[in-house]
Amino acid sequence: MAMQRPSAEPAISVIDLHKSFDGKEVLRGLDLDIDRGESLAVVGGSGAGKTVFLKHLIGLLPPDEGNVVVDGVDITLASPGVALELRKRFGMSFQEGALFDSMTVFDNIAFPIRRHTDRNREEVAERVGECLRLVRLNGVETKFPAELSGGMRRRVGFARAIALEPEILLFDEPTTGLDPINTAAIANVINHMRSELEVTAVTITHDMSLAFRIADRIAMIRRGTIIALETPERFRVHPDPYVQAFLKGEVPADEEEAL
């Protein structure tokens, strides 16, 4: 796992973030600085606000109150043009990979390159090949998503997320539904990508084995706020009873209402 890189200015600052849906508070004054070059894992129970938090980072959801500052620019106050440019600094891998079923692996990865750059056919092919090598996949360019295993589909999703050479990578539940062997493989790929690309990474996960493998710090969200933010070693022994119950798998299923 890459070590956290100190920086005078965080890559992302989340300040007093609030968000409600149909009168239900999901985020309740969440504050968090994400250091440049670090890998942050965000964990918590179902409905705690993890994915809602992630969508605010990239500007997919506007906050009811609060701010999200990316590289010194407030994305919540930015003009549409500035916000679009900020989003280009992000690469996002969605749950289950979210690939286009009707496209080959090559075309899935090439899609953002063709849409946002003027690279010629040879340059696109070269970049697709680079992305597949970074996620440790070879020889799958002509396959369709349905021909791949779940772990391979996730890695193709990673390859598409890095196609435009982003500075910040966001992973939304990258190991959901995977067995322990594939989970370990995904963790290795995420760490390899971070090492090679020197990016900031934010991973939303319920999988503590993954969090401990990839994170420089682990943040736990409960009821819309951060209740713990520690290195993996310190997180394991955090004194908060909820954290310890969560680690032991003892949190009742109805502790947090799902969205």
Residue 28 is classified by DSSP as E
Domain identity same for 82 and 191: yes
pLDDT > 70? residue 4: no
Instruction: Tell me the residue length of the chain.
Output: 259
CA 32, CA 188: separation in Å to the nearest integer?
Answer: 26
Question: Distance (Å, rounded) from C-alpha 164 to C-alpha 159?
Answer: 10
Residue 96 pLDDT: 64
Q: Which domain holds residue 27?
A: 1-89+167-259
Q: 31 and 52: one domain?
A: yes
Residue 234, token pair as written in the block: 């310190």
Is residue 122 domain-shared with residue 104, that is, in the same domain? yes
Residue 94: band (very low, low, confident or very high) from pLDDT cuts 50, 70, 90: confident
Task: Output the six-digit token pair for 23.
Answer: 């009168």
Query: Could you tell me if 221 and 156 lie in one domain?
Result: no
pLDDT in tens, 119-155: 999 999 999 999 999 999 988 999 999 999 888 999 9
pTM over 0.75: yes
174-223 pLDDT, tens per residue?
998 888 998 999 999 999 998 899 999 999 998 999 999 999 999 999 99
Are 231 and 255 members of one domain? Answer: yes
Q: Which of 148, 165, 182 is the last residue of a domain?
A: 165
Domain boundary among 165, 190, 215: 165
160 and 222 together in one domain? no
- Range picked from 48-52, 95-99, 210-214 for highest mean pLDDT: 210-214
Same domain (yes/no): 181, 132: no
What integer best gives the mean pLDDT of the chain?
Answer: 89
CATH number, domain containing residue 220: 3.40.50.300
Residues contacting 190, CB < 8 A, separation 6+: 39, 158, 171, 174, 201, 203, 214
Number of structural domains (the chain) is: 2
Residue 95: per-residue pLDDT: 72
Beta pairing partners, 168: 90, 200
Would you say residue 5 has pLDDT above 80? no
